Amino acid sequence: MIAPADPDRAAALARAVGVSPLAAQLMLNRGITTPGDAIPYLRPRLAELRPPAGEGVVAERTMAGFTDALFRLERAVRERQTIGVFGDYDVDGVTSAALLVRFLRDAGATVVVRVARRDAGYGLSPAEIGEYAAAQCAVVVACDCGTSDHDALAEARRRGIDVIVVDHHQVPTSDNGRLPDALALINPHRADCRFPYKGLASVGVAFYLAAALRTRLRAAGWPALPDPRALLDLVALGTVADMAPLTRENRILVAAGVAQMKAGPLRPGLAALSSLCKLPDGPRRAADLGQRLGPRLNAPGRLGAATLALELLLAGDAAQAAALADACEAENRRRREIQEAVSVEADVEAAAQARAGAEFLVVAGAGWHPGVVGIVAQRLAERHGRPTAVLAIEGDLARGSLRSAGGLHLADALHKASDLLVRFGGHAAAAGLTVETAQIPALRSRLTAIARARLGEAGRVPPLRLDALVRLDAIGEPLVSELERLEPFGVGNPEPLLGVRDVVLQRARVVGDNHLQVTLSDGLHARDGIGFSLADGAPERGAAVRASFLPELDTWQGTTRVRLRLRGIHPATEAASASTSPATARAPEPIPSTLFA
């Protein structure tokens, strides 16, 4: 399927903002339709972030709970009170905790930090509150959790500890509108939160809090004023890894964080991890964060405690960072082995449900490790084009993770099934739940009905949607450079997907773990490509084919060239009808260096 082209609008937008018609069409495909939208999209600037509270911010744009949290932290810093920071075990929770710890310590505060353990369950527990009380913490900041942790918050109240919740998960309607009994809940999804952007990850909320705290401390004449902009690498990492939408504020924050990492130097932990990921120059794009660094930082928390990941992000020197990165890599290898065993079993059940036409795949198994079910759910959702839940059964209860497809909002879906659940939380693209094992069939039926009502037949195995067809002779470094102006790519701003037709598969061979290395030719021009996990069912060499891909620069042994990263390759079919004629590429004009200006 090819996105309908609008050459006239694309040409007008291209002239207005100084890009090629192809780049303009790609922006139109993403809802960027006017110069007023396109200019900040192409040049995301920190100055465009909308403030969450403070002088000049109208009540209709205030982030609920923000001012109470800000004043309490300012008092804690100025009065030298011990501050506790707690992070959930995923990358968003760990980066949020690392950001606040780094900022508060650099501001002169005494900070006690803890992160979640998988065997203790999700979120902040009463036992953790007891640990903070023993450390004489006057205030605790809970990161990426806390919205539903009523027992822990009641324990904190009993012990006289003020709790600030920094979260972005949906506030469960099963709580009958009851907000947590915390000093402050900063969560854009609060019904009374008027901040206009709801897509922030917890680490983004933590960044806002640190930036506002610096302003308060400066006004009070505080001597230690760390620059929160130095923490934007953590914001980018947590936002991308948590699959938060890369739109509006998140786009600005992630773009700034990636630019900071490109400029260097990297913090020791990220430098060590990048080296293990074979990124000698560090992350260059958002995909490096989500696909290379994120899984390695997630691995310790998936299998046990996230302490290793936190210590890595807080490491002060290269030697300490290298040892911690090696430990995270070892956990990641163990995670892959466990994940593969679960994937083999889960995929059999998922494939059977998909063949039967299920709109929502719900697979469950005893003995599956709950720490890997999220990754397995993501893979199955991508493979079958359906929202997917993978549940690890442990006796009478099952814990699971869900990943979306087809645009289904998972948090909303779980609200509609809340009567079947013990516990749940999450956002549009990813969620988690606990359910009684006996209720799994009922849950499967409920989620299937919700997906059918929301997505209908169109929600089943959606075809790849091409942004445009291009010619092989138009694919070069200028095109790659222009596509990079549309970064960062991720949820809400997907990578461009280009296509070619009527080309010949001149060369094809299997490399590595079922990867397909190809050369495509139109008779006059040729381009090399790589299709990861695409070797099965590939067309024969010499066949006429059509292919979908993203062009990118590949460096090997000091030589850089353009390579096609394939998403699909199939035998050629008839040309698209005139009603869906795609935009075609021409060589784009030179692009000024304005990215992240």
Q: Provide the pLDDT for residue 121.
A: 66
CA-to-CA distance for 141 and 144, rounded, in angstroms?
Answer: 10
Residue 573's pLDDT band, with cuts at 50, 70 and 90, is low
Residue 537's pLDDT band, with cuts at 50, 70 and 90, is confident
User: Which of 24-29's residues contact partners 24+ apart within 8 Å by CB, and which partners?
Assistant: 25/467, 25/468, 25/583, 26/467, 26/468, 26/483, 26/486, 26/496, 27/486, 29/3, 29/467
CA-to-CA distance for 117 and 115, rounded, in angstroms?
Answer: 7
CA-to-CA distance for 306 and 105, rounded, in angstroms?
Answer: 20
Q: Are strands 526-531 and 498-511 parallel, antiparallel or unpaired?
A: unpaired
Cβ-contact 423, 434 below 8 angstroms = yes
Taking the CA atoms of residue 141, residue 122, residue 89 and residue 253 in that order, the dihedral angle to the nearest 10 degrees is -60
Helix (H), strand (E), coil (C) string for 460-523: CCCCCCECEECCHHHCCHHHHHHHHCCCCCECCECCCCEEEEEEEEEEEEEECCCEEEEEEECC
CA-to-CA distance for 482 and 479, rounded, in angstroms?
Answer: 5
Residues 6+ apart with CB under 8 A from 441: none
Cβ-contact 567, 529 below 8 angstroms = no
CA-to-CA distance for 55 and 63, rounded, in angstroms?
Answer: 13
Mean per-residue pLDDT, 567-578:
65
- In 10 A of CB 280, how many CB atoms? 9
Q: Provide the pLDDT for residue 384.
A: 87
Taking the CA atoms of residue 306, residue 81, residue 236 and residue 183 in that order, the dihedral angle to the nearest 10 degrees is 90
Cβ-contact 92, 203 below 8 angstroms = yes
**pLDDT tops 90 at residue 260:** yes
Cβ-contact 442, 418 below 8 angstroms = no
| Percentage of the chain modeled with pLDDT above 90 | 71
Q: How does pLDDT run across 296-314, given as a tens digit for each residue?
A: 999 999 888 899 999 999 9
Q: How does pLDDT run across 369-387, given as a tens digit for each residue?
A: 988 999 899 989 988 889 9
Average pLDDT, the chain: 88
Residue 575's pLDDT band, with cuts at 50, 70 and 90, is very low
Phi, psi torsion values for 30, nearest 5 degrees: -105, 15
**pLDDT tops 50 at residue 458:** no
Cβ-contact 349, 393 below 8 angstroms = no
Domains of the chain: 47-229 (3.90.1640.30), 357-459 (3.10.310.30), 464-580 (2.40.50.460)
Mean per-residue pLDDT, 225-250:
96
CA-to-CA distance for 99 and 146, rounded, in angstroms?
Answer: 18
**pLDDT tops 90 at residue 57:** no
Q: Provide the pLDDT for residue 347.
A: 92
Residue 220's pLDDT band, with cuts at 50, 70 and 90, is very high
**pLDDT tops 80 at residue 275:** yes
Q: How does pLDDT run across 6-42, given as a tens digit for each residue?
A: 889 999 999 999 999 999 999 999 999 999 999 999 9
Q: Provide the pLDDT for residue 461.
A: 47
Phi, psi torsion values for 183, nearest 5 degrees: -60, -40
CA-to-CA distance for 91 and 298, rounded, in angstroms?
Answer: 6
Edge-to-edge strands of the sheet including 421-426? 361-366, 388-394, 397-403, 430-436, 421-426
302 residue type, one letter = R
